[in-house]
Amino acid sequence: MANSSENIKNYSITLLCVIASAFIIFLGFYLKTTAANKLIAQKEVLMKVEEKVDRVYNDYKSLIDRQISMQESIEENANNAGVLFNEGSLIFSVRLMESEDMIDPAQADMMVIESISQIKKVNPRIADIVSTFNRKYINSR
C-alpha cells in the first residue's frame, strides 16, 4: 500500500514536471512570438513614420523649390522690364541729344545699336520693333 502511494506520488511529480516543462516551453514560445510581433509592429510603425516624414519633407522641398523658381522668375521679369525701360529711355535721350546737336549722329547711332543689342537679349520681338523705328528715323534725318 505504501509502495502504491509512493508510485502515485512519483507519477504526480513527473506529471507536474511535464506540465511545468510544457508550460515553460509554451510560455517561452509565446513570449518569443509576442516579441517578434512587437518588433514587426514597431518596424511598421517606424516605416510609416519615415514615409510620412519623407512625404512631408518632399512636399516642403517642392514648395520651397516652387517658391524659389517663382521668385527667380519674378526677379527675371523685373530685370527684363528694367532693361527694356532703361534702354528705351536711353534711346529716347540719345536721339534727343542728337537732335539738339549735343552728340554726333554716328555716336548716337552707335549708342542706340548697343541699346538694341541689350533689348534683343531680353526680348527679340521688341528689338525688331525698335530697330524698325530706328531705321525709319535714320533714313528720314
Partner 1 sequence: MRYFKIFSYSLIISFYTSSLFAVDLGGLKLNQNINNYLIISEEEKNKDIRIRKFDKNIRIFANNIFNLGYKNRGTYKDFKILSPDYFWDTYYIYEKDNKSNYIVAVKSLNRKVVQSKFKIGECTSLRQQFIKEVMGLNFSEKKKEYKNWISGDMIRYKDRVVYTTTENDISYNHLFSCVHSIYYSKDEHYISTYFAYGINTDHQIVTDMDNYLNVKDLNEFNESLVANFKIWGNYEISDQNYLDTDLYSLKKYRNEALQMHQKND
Kindly list the residues in this chain that would bind partner 1 in the complex (CB under 8 A).
104-107, 109-110, 112-113, 115-117, 120, 127-128, 130-132, 134-135, 138-139
CB nearer to partner 1: pick between 85 and 133: 133
CB nearer to partner 1: pick between 2 and 106: 106
State in angstroms the smallest separation of the CB of 124 from partner 1: 8
Cα 77 from Cα 80, distance rounded (Å): 5
CB nearer to partner 1: pick between 12 and 117: 117
Residues 6+ away with beta carbon under 8 Å from 116: 87, 91, 127, 130, 131, 134
State in angstroms the smallest separation of the CB of 76 from partner 1: 22
Cα 100 from Cα 94, distance rounded (Å): 10
Coil, helix or strand at residue 123: coil
Q: HSE on the CB side for 64, CA within 13 Å?
A: 6
State in angstroms the smallest separation of the CB of 96 from partner 1: 18
State in angstroms the smallest separation of the CB of 99 from partner 1: 16
